[in-house]
Amino acid sequence: MVRIILATENKAKYKSVEGLVKFVAKTDGVEVEIKQVASDIPFPIESGRSAPENCQIKAIHYQKFLTGAFISFDDAVDISGLLNSLPGHEFHKFGGKTDKTPAEIFAYLYTVITNGAKYPITIIRYFGCVNKGRQTFFRNSFR
């Protein structure tokens, strides 16, 4: 049996990655035990300038506390498809030459995404897999 800790405090991300790990393990015929990182382990400061950097920061941080295999991960949202497909009035509302604050623009984007976006967006999840001090990083994209 392979024991894996998912290094996140975010329950939704945990469930999402847990499902992915279980699917891959089942496909490969591997039995896994998956747990969420313990709440007494401090969460790292994500000071990277990108999702891949934050993923690496998390991997390095959690190596200080975890001895077994674990997976760190961070998400980015590619909205280029969204911006390219927005009608002009919606692009203006979103932030094209507008007096909207960054918080208002983000709130609008969040609404578009969470309401079953009719516009194409891509979630890019960056993974850091660490076992016995060896790190492997990769990414996965989904809509």
CA-based torsion, 85, 86, 92, 93: positive or negative? negative
The mean per-residue pLDDT over the stretch 14-40 comes to 88
Burial status of residue 143 (CB atoms within 10 A of its CB: 0-12, 13-18, 19 or more)? exposed
* Whole-structure pTM value: 0.64
Confidence of residue 125 (pLDDT cuts 50, 70, 90): confident
What value does the CA radius of gyration of the chain take, rounded to a whole number of Å? 18
Please write the tens of the pLDDT for every residue from 76-93: 766 666 555 555 545 444
Cα(64)–Cα(73) distance, integer angstroms: 16
CA–CA separation, 34 and 31 (whole Å): 10
Q: Tell me the average pLDDT of the chain.
A: 76
Span between the terminal Cα atoms of the chain, in Å: 32
